[in-house]
């Protein structure tokens, strides 16, 4: 039994409620200046003022002096495509020269070029490339990460991706949440028969991935999957026991947010083009809005309307969207900084978005996302006095150390 005591910490954390933090709760951060954190066997035993009475024998306790630094929960990154086999830098240059993201996809590039890379890669090479990506995110404080499949688009390669994602969960320090995203694009071999691909998804792929994925996600977008096609995929996934996510209204307002609300999905993601009705539907359905400001930045698009969402009672979470095309970003501090500077979230709201609400978005709220007794001791020691340091220090790494289940991992 290992017991660790972290002293002289300025602890900042959201607190778990019965539902994700919405409205004014989004910005409610509890703090203990000069507080302490007691960790037993990888979990938080006590914090703040309750610590001393929880120590049975001082001799068995390893002590750390954090010298007044801010301590926040480890980041939960609830939306990534961090399982791929090659970068797409040429495509980035095409976008800079004026070609649109969806036009590149229509021309057989974009997601489809990653599909060719992932199909060609051995399982071992795919694992190694992805492990490097996860190490990058860990360095920036991500202690729990969702990873989507969706660069296979045939049963065999989707299963290969999901095996790699499961192995990442076993062989990296992070908790990894697997999402099946066979509905990420229509593969080239079905270009003239998209309904044939939908049938493959419903009748073969979804039944085959059972047990390997906690969530199912679909790219509901013009020229990709329509609202009725997305609904069919999600209905089948739900029947098979998966929870639901939707890439909704990223480029066009197709009604993806409304679909998320209607289906009471766990989360709707992107939402750059979501309408007022879409936002109302999210609030009504209790859906977490997972916002990806680094994607808006990389696509040179206006940010999602986070303030309107918070005002209407939609719980907001933040994610990197780490992927080889629309946004190659490993850094949650950068995302928090964009959320504060570009979407006008307060540092407190952004912190809840990057931790507790993000944990709700991936079904990990009982384990992580806030510093509370019983939860995993996943935390970050910041190189500053408060969560504002994440926006204040821009473009570098405002982190002294990263701890996962009570162990120093970066």
Binding site for ligand NIG (CB under 6 A): 81, 110-111, 114, 219, 247, 250, 295, 321, 323-326
Q: How many residues does the chain have?
A: 410
Strands 379-382 and 399-404: antiparallel
Contact residues toward Fe ion (CB under 5 A) are 321
Residue 114 partner contact from ligand NIG, Fe ion, none using kind-dependent CB cut-offs of 5 to 8 Å: ligand NIG
Closest separation in Å from C-beta 74 to ligand NIG: 23
Closest separation in Å from C-beta 250 to Fe ion: 8
Closest separation in Å from C-beta 326 to Fe ion: 7
Closest separation in Å from C-beta 290 to Fe ion: 9
Closest alpha carbon to 78 in 278, 268, 305: 268
Residue 14 partner contact from ligand NIG, Fe ion, none using kind-dependent CB cut-offs of 5 to 8 Å: none
Residue 333 partner contact from ligand NIG, Fe ion, none using kind-dependent CB cut-offs of 5 to 8 Å: none
Q: What is the CA radius of gyration of the chain?
A: 21
Cα angle, residue 410 at apex, residues 72 and 2 outer, rounded to 5°: 75
Closest separation in Å from C-beta 177 to ligand NIG: 16
User: What distances in angstroms separate CA 309 from CA 14, 174, 269, 344, one per listed residue?
Assistant: 19, 30, 13, 12
Closest separation in Å from C-beta 30 to Fe ion: 32
| Of residues 140 and 151, the one with the C-beta less far from Fe ion | 151
> Which residues, in sequence order, are bridge partners of residue 246?
218, 268
Cβ atoms of 160 and 354 within 8 Å: the answer is: no
User: What distances in angstroms separate CA 100 from CA 81, 174, 185, 249, one per listed residue?
Assistant: 20, 34, 16, 16
At 272, list the tokens.
């750059």
Residue 40 partner contact from Fe ion, ligand NIG, none using kind-dependent CB cut-offs of 5 to 8 Å: none
| Of residues 18 and 300, the one with the C-beta less far from Fe ion | 300
- Gap between the Cα atoms of 330 and 321, Å rounded: 8
Residue 219 partner contact from Fe ion, ligand NIG, none using kind-dependent CB cut-offs of 5 to 8 Å: ligand NIG
Q: Which residue, chain included where needed, has tokens 């995929």?
A: 233
Closest residue to ligand NIG in the complex (CB): 325
| Of residues 79 and 404, the one with the C-beta less far from ligand NIG | 79
Residue 110 partner contact from Fe ion, ligand NIG, none using kind-dependent CB cut-offs of 5 to 8 Å: ligand NIG
Closest separation in Å from C-beta 93 to ligand NIG: 15
| Of residues 5 and 282, the one with the C-beta less far from ligand NIG | 282
| Of residues 9 and 294, the one with the C-beta less far from Fe ion | 294
| Of residues 81 and 404, the one with the C-beta less far from ligand NIG | 81
Residue 111 partner contact from Fe ion, ligand NIG, none using kind-dependent CB cut-offs of 5 to 8 Å: ligand NIG
At 270, list the tokens.
């992107």
Closest separation in Å from C-beta 328 to ligand NIG: 10
| Of residues 146 and 378, the one with the C-beta less far from Fe ion | 146
- Gap between the Cα atoms of 410 and 399, Å rounded: 9
| Of residues 321 and 378, the one with the C-beta less far from Fe ion | 321
**Phi then psi for 315, rounded to 5 degrees?**
-70, 130
Beta-strand runs (E) in 273-390: 288-291, 316-318, 379-382
Residue 30 backbone zone (phi > 0: left; psi -120 to 50: alpha; other: beta): beta
| Of residues 40 and 184, the one with the C-beta less far from Fe ion | 184
DSSP state of 181: E
Question: Max alpha carbon distance in the chain (Å)?
Answer: 71
CA 277, chain centre distance (Å): 25
Residue 305 partner contact from ligand NIG, Fe ion, none using kind-dependent CB cut-offs of 5 to 8 Å: none
Residue 141 partner contact from Fe ion, ligand NIG, none using kind-dependent CB cut-offs of 5 to 8 Å: none
> Which residues, in sequence order, are bridge partners of residue 220?
225, 248
| Of residues 114 and 348, the one with the C-beta less far from Fe ion | 114
Closest alpha carbon to 354 in 389, 318, 330: 318
Closest separation in Å from C-beta 79 to Fe ion: 6
Residue 326 partner contact from Fe ion, ligand NIG, none using kind-dependent CB cut-offs of 5 to 8 Å: ligand NIG
User: What distances in angstroms separate CA 244 from CA 231, 257, 342, 362, one per listed residue?
Assistant: 10, 13, 28, 10
Closest separation in Å from C-beta 184 to ligand NIG: 6
């Amino acid at each position: 039994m290992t017991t660790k005591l972290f002293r002289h910490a300025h602890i900042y954390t959201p607190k778990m409620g019965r539902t994700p933090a919405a409205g004014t709760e989004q910005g409610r951060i509890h703090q203990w200046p000069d507080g302490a954190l007691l960790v037993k066997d990888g979990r938080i035993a006590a914090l703040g003022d309750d610590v001393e009475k929880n120590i049975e024998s001082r001799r068995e306790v390893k002590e750390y002096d954090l010298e007044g630094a801010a301590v926040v929960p480890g980041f939960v990154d609830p939306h990534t495509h961090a399982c791929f086999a090659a970068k797409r830098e040429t495509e980035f240059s095409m976008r800079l020269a004026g070609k649109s993201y969806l036009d590149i996809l229509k021309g057989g590039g974009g997601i489809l070029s990653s599909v060719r890379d992932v199909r060609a890669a051995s399982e071992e090479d795919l694992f190694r490339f992805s492990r490097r990506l996860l190490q990058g995110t860990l360095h920036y404080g991500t202690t729990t990460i969702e990873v989507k499949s969706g660069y296979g688009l045939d049963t065999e390669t989707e299963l290969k991706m999901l095996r790699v994602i499961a192995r990442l969960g076993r062989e990296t320090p992070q908790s990894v949440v697997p999402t099946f995203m066979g509905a990420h694009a229509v593969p080239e071999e079905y270009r003239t028969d998209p309904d044939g691909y939908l049938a493959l998804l419903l009748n073969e792929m979804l039944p085959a991935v059972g047990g390997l994925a906690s969530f199912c996600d679909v790219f509901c977008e013009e020229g990709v999957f329509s609202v009725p096609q997305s609904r069919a995929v999600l209905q089948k996934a739900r029947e098979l026991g998966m929870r639901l996510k939707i890439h909704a209204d990223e480029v066009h307002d197709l009604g993806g947010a409304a679909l998320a609300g209607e289906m009471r999905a766990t989360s709707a993601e992107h939402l750059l083009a979501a309408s007022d009705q879409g936002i109302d539907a999210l609030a009504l359905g209790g859906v977490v809005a997972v916002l990806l400001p680094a994607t808006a930045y990389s696509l040179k698009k206006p940010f999602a309307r986070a303030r309107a969402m918070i005002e209407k009672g939609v719980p907001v979470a933040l994610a990197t969207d780490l992927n080889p095309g629309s946004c190659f970003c490993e850094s949650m501090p950068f995302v928090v900084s964009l959320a504060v500077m570009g979407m006008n979230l307060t540092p407190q709201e952004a912190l809840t978005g990057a931790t507790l609400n993000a944990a709700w978005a991936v079904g990990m709220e009982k384990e992580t996302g806030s510093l509370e007794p019983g939860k995993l001791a996943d935390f970050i020691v910041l190189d500053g006095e408060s969560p504002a340091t994440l926006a204040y220090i821009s473009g570098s790494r405002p982190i002294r150390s990263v701890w996962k289940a009570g162990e120093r991992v970066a």
